[in-house]
Amino acid sequence: MKIAVYPGSFDPITNGHLNIIKRTIIIVDKLIVAVAVDSKKSTLFSAQERADMIKEAIKDLENVEVLSFSGLLTDFVRKNKANIIIRGMRAISDFEHESQLALMNKGLAPEIETIFLVTCSKYSYLNSSIVKEIASLNGNISQLVPEIVEKKLKTLFFNRKA
C-alpha cells in the first residue's frame, strides 16, 4: 500500500495546496495531510484551526486524512506507516530548499522516498503569505483559497479592525 504524507504549515491552505492534494490521491492509496504544530514559522491560525479548514476543504475527497504533528517529519511518516513524502514546488526557486530537505530526510530514513510535484502554472505565484496580505487589505481572494478559508480570513481581519 502506498501511503504518502504531505506536510506543511498550511497557514492557511490555498488552492495551490489543494491542487497538489488532488493530484497526489490519484497516485497513492492514502494521503495524510500533516499540519506542522511546531513550525518555526509564526502562524495566524492554530494547528487545530488549520486542520479544520483543510478537513472542510477536502471533505469530498476519499482516502485523505488530516493530522497534526510535531517533531521530526520522518518519525511521523514512519509512525503512520507511510513510505512517501510529497513536497509541492511552485517554481525553480523552491528547488534548492526542497532538495536539501529531501536529502536530509533520506539520510534520516532511507526507506522513505520524497516526490516533488509542481503545482499547476495558475498557482505558481501563490503562497499563504500572499493570501494573508491580500485578505488583510480587503482584496478578493476567492480564486486563491477554498471558501472556508476566505470566510475565516475575512472574519479574522474584519474583527481585528472593528
Instruction: Pick the closest to residue 74 from 43, 96, 41, 101 (CA basis).
Output: 101
139 carries a ligand binding annotation: no
**Model pLDDT, residue 39:** 63
Consult the annotation and say whether 73 binds a ligand: yes
Residue 161 has pLDDT above 50, yes or no: no
Please identify every residue annotated as catalytic.
17, 41, 90, 128
How far apart are the C-alpha atoms of 145 and 162, rounded to whole Å? 24
What pLDDT, on a 0 to 100 scale, did the predictor assign at position 90? 86
**pLDDT tens per residue across span 45-104:** 999 999 999 999 999 999 999 999 999 999 999 999 999 999 999 888 788 889 999 999
By C-alpha distance, which of 12, 14, 11 is closest to 142?
A: 14
| CATH 3.40.50.620 holds for 3-124 | yes
